[in-house]
Amino acid sequence: MANVPCIPDFSDAMDVDGTHVTIRPIEPADRDRESAFVRKLSDASRYYRFHSSMKELTPALLERFTECHYPDDLALVAMVDTASGPEQIGVARYIREPGTDRAEIAIVVADAWQGKGIATRLLYDLRDLARSGGIHQLYASVLRENGRMLDLCRKLGFSLERADTEPRTSQLGKQLPPLGEDSQ
């Protein structure tokens, strides 16, 4: 298997409190970083992301999460350089519903990096790449107790679509404007 990005030639960068953060597509070579990232999340952050008390990604999930098939699915990671090498501090992904122009998104940022604009930047980049891939609507199933994610979605223009059949979640959605038109 080749260690190539799931979408070529995309990267973004931002400065967070004096630290350079690189945003790029996840790659199969990121398996160990993705696994370590999930293990290091607090119990609450893992619960909010996976809607369960999962402690570690299964091998099947790890493979699925690090091998993208753009434009149908894509994951972007936020990375920082540390003394021991690159470290993943966030990930945002979308997965298209088969045969539609609609995709579900999910995001999680390492606890120490939350509240610093990383999730917002990841979602803006993910939105733009989704639009380029023919996605016209994004949605997220969010635990009702996850106030930070609900606030972020609302800040980015998502609105309540419906309360899911799962009583713990709400579904928020956003119609994407055509390419070339700016939106929140």
Residue ranges and CATH numbers for the domains of the chain are: 12-138 (3.40.630.30)
- Quote the pLDDT of residue 161: 85
Full-model pTM: 0.92
Percent of the chain surpassing pLDDT 90: 85
pLDDT digits (tens, 9 = 90+) for 23-59: 999 999 999 999 999 999 999 999 999 999 899 999 9
- Quote the pLDDT of residue 165: 66
pLDDT digits (tens, 9 = 90+) for 99-136: 999 999 999 999 999 999 999 999 999 999 999 999 99
More confident position, 2 or 40: 40
- Quote the pLDDT of residue 178: 77
Question: Residue by residue, what is the 3-state secondary structure of the chain?
Answer: CCCCCCCCCCCEEEEECCEEEEEEECCHHHHHHHHHHHHHCCHHHHHHHHCCCCCCCCHHHHHHHHCCECCCEEEEEEEEEECCEEEEEEEEEEEECCCCCEEEEEEEECHHHCCCCHHHHHHHHHHHHHHHCCCCEEEEEEECCCHHHHHHHHHCCCEEEEECCCCCEEEEEEECCCCCCCCC
